[in-house]
Structure 1
Amino acid sequence: MPRLLLFPVALCCLAVCGCHDGPLYALKHANPYFVREWKKDEALGITDFQRRKELELLVRTLPSMSANEQAEYMVHLQQILDKDPSPDMRHLAVRASTSISGPAALSLAQQALDDDSLKVRMAACDVLGKRPEPEAAQSLAKLVGESSNLDIRQAALRALGGHRGDVVKDSLKLALDDRDPAIRMAAMQSLEQVTGEPLGTSDPDVWVAYLEGKPYESNPGSFAERMRSMF
């Protein structure tokens, strides 16, 4: 088939969700982890294009799939994270796992915290912030305490805002004493989410007093809270 006709064919396959055996057709049939050999070199670029588009489609369609279908695709997402050389593909695999319940999806997100790509690690923080398991919060709290990367620590702190419990509060409280103002800010923003208290993001000491059950002076609240009060 002439090269110019391959792109329309690939797009047509994407447009029909039932094409072959689902959104991961290209990932399973034109991927070196699922077949023994690559196709001819001239087809590689189109293969990569189709794989990425189909994985983007999977991110959007997984939430509406049955548990059995999600479990089937979970196997392929794990393969991508383990072996795919493309950070974009690994990033999308992590994103796709968000809506899948169970230990396999949790383990995938936890594994992604150690990925070589910052983009993948950031996605893992976001996904763990949306997962319900206590282990997700524990992984984020550990990352806050151990990572030397400012962006990752901020992402983990923001993600902790989606959880509750003593582990979360203790981790956020420790971050209030950090030397970096961005870390303290992220901790206070998450504390507002976790506690529901509008104590603001200007004074970490107010939050420390609150968390320790001590008296504290009234705070004008966060910027968003002050803006809402004006209208």
Structure 2
Amino acid sequence: MKLSADHKAFEQRIGYKFRHPELLIRALTHGSVSSATRPDNQRLEFLGDRVLGLVMATALLEKDKTATEGQLAPRFNALVRKETCADVAREVDLGAVLRLGRSEMMSGGRRKQALLGDAMEAVIAAVYRDTGFEEAQAMILRLWGDRIHKVEDDARDPKTALQEWAQARGQKPPSYVELSRSGPDHAPVFTIQVRLASGETADATAGNKRQAEQDAARKLLGSLS
């Protein structure tokens, strides 16, 4: 199987060239376009999640040799959560090569956090199946980059951190307001605004309210700091 020019460009972006191109094709194939002869990426996603977890657990243990399990757990969760996988996927423009059915494409599937996060995990598994753990580990550490070194900050829940920021300054807890909801019922998109009593605000859009609230809080924290 030969890869297209777009797939080869994606290989360059992730810094890995596949020996078995069919693994990459499968990793990028969403269930909405799969068939009996074109398997989707769900099984690879399952495996990739475990490979990512092992890499990050190992990296965290090596980074901080005195950290307790209670300190390591939130850091680990911050590095392997779907939002982080989707952020990495966006950085390497995975959405441009993701194979989707018409309905998913029409509903903005190439930008959906869940689809991007799942496909990123599938790509990790594809590399693992192609040449083994060491190559997969090297790619993960390269793509996650500074996230591992800055994970102490990222590990804090942004809504909790923003509430603590407000309370430390004698303010009421932040309020979250739904500005809009769009998209079909099976794939809604929410825009949420977080507001502080002192007047600062930030907006964020995501596929569910909780994530939009978290993203808005994170954005506002970034502007405050």
**Band the TM-score falls in, shorter-chain normalisation:** under 0.3
TM-score normalised by L of structure 1 = 0.25
Higher helix fraction (1 or 2): 1
If asked which structure has higher relative contact order (CA below 8 Å, sep 6+), I would say: 2
Output the TM-score relative to the length of structure 2: 0.26
Structure whose residues are more often strand by fraction: 2
